[in-house]
Structure formats: C-alpha cells, structure tokens
Amino acid sequence: MHSDQRRFGRLPRFWRGVCRLTLLAAVAVVPLGSLADASPRGGRGMSAKPSFNNRAVRDPGHRVQGVRPSHVNRGTRNVRPSARGSRGSRGEGWSHAAMPPRGAWHPPRGPRRTRDPRGPRILGAVIPGIIGVIGTIVTQPAHSDPEHWAPPPRPRRQPAANRRPPRQQGPTRTTRRPSGAPPAGEQRLVPDELVIQLPPGTSEQVVAQLAARHQLIRLESQTFQLTGESMFRWRIPDQRSMSAVIRALERDAGVRTAQPNYLFVLQQETAGPGKGDPAQYAIGKLHLPQAHTLAQGDKVLIGVIDSGIDVSHPELAGMIAESYDALPGEGPDSHGTAIAGTIVARSRLLGVAPASRILAAQAFGTTAATAAATTFNILKSIDWAAKNGARVINMSFAGPRDPAIERELAAAYKRNVVLIAAAGNAGPKSPPLYPAADRNVIAVAATDSQDRLFDRSNRGGHITVAAPGVDIIAPAPRGAYQIISGTSIAAAYISGLAALLIERSPNLSPSQIRGIVQTTARDLGRRGRDPEYGAGLPDAYRALKSITPRTADSVTSSRR
C-alpha cells in the first residue's frame, strides 16, 4: 500500500492534502527559526554582512578599525558604535577613528532600543513544534502497523429472528415514487374521495383487505382500455387528513398510485341570449369559406368532453354520432351545446367542420353539485371517446395538474388522437391550468374581433395558438341561441380545424397537426411566438393548402 494511503487512508481526499501541506510547512519553518537568529538585529548569531557600506570592522582585540564614512553628512547613520567609547552612556559611543567631523550628524544621546534576541529563537522553535504535533495527531494511522492497515469492519446485521417487525400490516413498497398527495392549499378536489390505481387482475379479496387495512369505503372501479389501469374510487369515512391517507397508501406495495379526486370546471366566461346572426366574425378571421372548398371534416369523429348537449337543436340535428353519460340523469346544458355547435353547426350558423361528427361525453352536470367534473369521470370520458374512434378530443375545461389524467392523455396521444384544450379564463397572473399545460395537448387562448387578447385568457409558454373566443354566437338548449365568451369556444374552433386537416390527410400525427397549425398562423402581438398568442391566429385555408391531400384508403388507419 502506498505510504500516503497508509498514513492518510482514514481521511477524505481533501483533508489528506491539508495534512501533507501541514507537514511541509513544519519542515519549511524550522530553517526560518535559525535564520531569524542570523538577522543583523539578532545580535550574536551567525556572522552576517551588515546592511551598510564603509563600515567599521571589529577586530579580535576589540579595536575599531574603520574609515571615515563618505556620506555621513547626508544624515544616514552607517557607522556601528564601538564596544568602548568616550561619548554616551552605558558603554556606548564612537571610536576616535570613526568620529565624524565637527558639525556632522550625531546619533541620539539616549539609549538605543534593540529587539530581544531571544524572541526569534523562541518562535523558531515553538511554531514548528506546534505544527508538528497537529500533523502527527491528525495523520495518525488507523492501525499501529501501517503495513496491515485495513478499513474498519462494517457492523454486522442482526439475525432475522432478532429484528424488530415492521409496523405496517400489509406489504411495503421498496421503490420510492413521487407522492400523489395534493399540494399545500389545493382546494380543487372532492374533500373525502381518493382515486387509487391497483395492479391489473387484483382479486376482490385483496381489494377488501386493502380497504380494511386503510379504513376506506369503495365507491366504484373501472379498468381503462387506453392505459390498462385498474382504477378505484374510495371514500375516507372519518376526519383523517387526505395527504396522510395517500402517503400511507403509497407505502403499501399493493397500491401503484394514489391521489385526490380532483375537480375541473368549464371555461365559459359569459353567456346570454342571441338572435343567431349568420355573419360570424370568426368565419372571416379563420378563412373558413375558402377552407371548406378543400375539406369539411367529413367522417372525422370529434370527442367533446363537456356538459350535456341538446341533440334536438336544429344546428345539431343528426350530428351526434354517439353519447356517453358519466353523470346519468343530467339534461342538456348551454356550455356543451355551444361547444358542439361551434364545431358542427350547419343551419343558421356555420361550424368549423360541418361534415364531422360528435362523440358526446357528458362529464359535467347542470346543478351546483355536479357542475365540476371529477378526475374519475374525465378518465371514463377520455377512455370512452378513444375506444369509439375519436381522432380529436376537445377539452374546454381547466383545473389542477392530475397525474392520472396525464397518463390517460399520453396513452391517447400514442394512439394518434389530437388533444385540444382551453387555456383557461383565470387571467394573466394565473399559473398554468390543465390539461392545457400538458405536453401532449394543444393549448388555445382567446381573441376578440379586433385580434386583441381576451382579458381573462391565461398566459404562458405552453400556449400554442389563439382563436376567436369573445362574443361568439352559438346554439343554446331548447332551440335558442346565445352569445358566449371564453377560451372554451376558442378551443372548439381549433378542434374543428384539426378535423379539416385529418380529412385532407388522414395519416397526420398529432405533432404534425400542431406544427401545421403553428407554422401557417398569422403572427399576433410580439414578433414570433409569445406567451399571450402563442404562434398567432390560425388560417384554416393556408393550413389546408400546406399539405398534400391523401385518401383514407392509401394509408393505414391509426385507430384501434
């Protein structure tokens, strides 16, 4: 073993260097102590050359033999006092041979102050000693015999019989994952409900044991085809903290994920009655009449996850392909009817993709208790829409970041589903809202008839484009019309545009559609992409002209 390793093996690399420098300093300081004795003011040490010229030299007989200084009149004292002199006191004075002439400078008559010659000797001996002792203590080897040095042995593990049993009754998780507990202060959730993911094929007996172990009440469960996950909705019957329950579940090896049942709200800012004027300003902004000469979204299925839709409205008659109710018993609502009409209206109004069809998934209700959709209902709606062949999914709602929905959206994205969401109506100071801020989603802001940003529209680097969303005329339940504003309507316009692109080229991927919409948009606001407008205002006609038309028979369908 190397000598340094034997001496400093117990210390980190940094402290090994410090110890070496300490020893080197100790060796270097020893000669300095001896040199201090040889300094001119040290007195009687080594014979050193004085620091002046034309000096008096002391002979063995203590007689002073010197030469008169050549520059004594300059005021410099360069003649050493003799051992015996006739002037001065205390035996100090000047020899006659070295006496300066009359009128020349004379040294002071008082006693001359000199340093104690013992001081340097003491420092020269003490300092190396102190440094040497410190270096010896710090670098003391771990073993008395450096040749047989070895690291200290690790503590022996106790036998299994002597170990303390774990506190938890169920199996524990060996790997640590990010916690699904809600952030501090998060209120957008059902206070006493959890969404838990269990491994596929978990038996009912294991589920019952899990519920009993954590004192939970099972509400419903479903296996989702998109992700293959088995999700359960549970209720906490007592007053325990939701975060504490989630962390306890995450330590259980039988649980994959646990999180709150979050709440999401529709992004409708204002609504009121209208007369249904066919002269919609959004038609000209997006160049829809020209675009419809190339494509109208024929046979493209668009999933709309929203509130109830009035399927009997003249603008929507025959345009709803299938419906799914995550909230049974809820009737049609103004928001869901307006979103569907913005996409496929074909009577007094003109939709963006009038030849497409709607897959209506009702996840939001009409009452105060059901107006907000939960994580579980949104998961069921996304899974249903993708399973029934939706190529586009419109999500005109916003809420907190939800890990379960993120996994569902990622699975839909891999199946070639274009995901579009409203940026949100929380204003410029709001943090990013989801699912618009999800990496797989096209986030849409809202503008008015003057291309000004809607004042309640969210901002951020995740904004993809902006679309008309202020004072938009849309269908309302019971055959009526309404004027609506918000990023919800803006998202519906981009969902219709995606359907046009898919009809023209069915093999386009979600990332390609995002790129086409951005590169063909008209820049608004600051030059280039910005957090307010994204890439700008889309141009439907220009977007369709930028791609080569292909028929569905020439490509393999990505729907499974």
| Sequence spans of domains, the chain | 3-38+119-144, 189-255, 266-553
Same fold, 189-255 and 266-553: no
d(CA 192, CA 180): 15
**Residue range 266-553, CATH number:** 3.40.50.200
Q: Which residue has the higher pLDDT, 154 or 189?
A: 189
Q: What is the pLDDT of residue 114?
A: 54
Residue 419 host element (H or E) = strand 418-422
Structure tokens belonging to residue 431 = 């943090």
Report whether pLDDT(418) > 70: yes
Counts for the chain of helices (H) and strands (E), in that order: 13, 18
At 481, phi and psi to the nearest 5? Answer: -130, 160
d(CA 280, CA 499): 20
Which of 167-171, 407-411, 467-471 shows the lowest mean pLDDT across its residues?
Answer: 167-171
Cα angle value 25/29/32 (rounded, 5°): 155
pTM, entire model: 0.68
Contact yes or no for 507/442 (Cβ under 8 A)? no
pLDDT tens for 419-454 read 999 999 999 999 999 999 999 999 999 999 999 999
pLDDT tens for 489-510 read 999 999 999 999 999 999 999 9
Other beta carbons less than 10 A from residue 82's beta carbon: 21
Q: What is the pLDDT of residue 55?
A: 45
Going by C-alpha positions, the residue among 517, 519, 361, 510 that lies closest to residue 440 is: 510
Contact yes or no for 301/356 (Cβ under 8 A)? yes
Going by C-alpha positions, the residue among 37, 33, 7, 10 that lies closest to residue 22 is: 7
**Residue range 189-255, CATH number:** 3.30.70
Report whether pLDDT(68) > 80: no
pLDDT tens for 236-274 read 999 999 999 999 999 998 899 999 999 999 987 655 554
Residues that are catalytic: 306, 335, 488
d(CA 287, CA 464): 19
Distance of CA 215 to the CA centre of its chain: 35
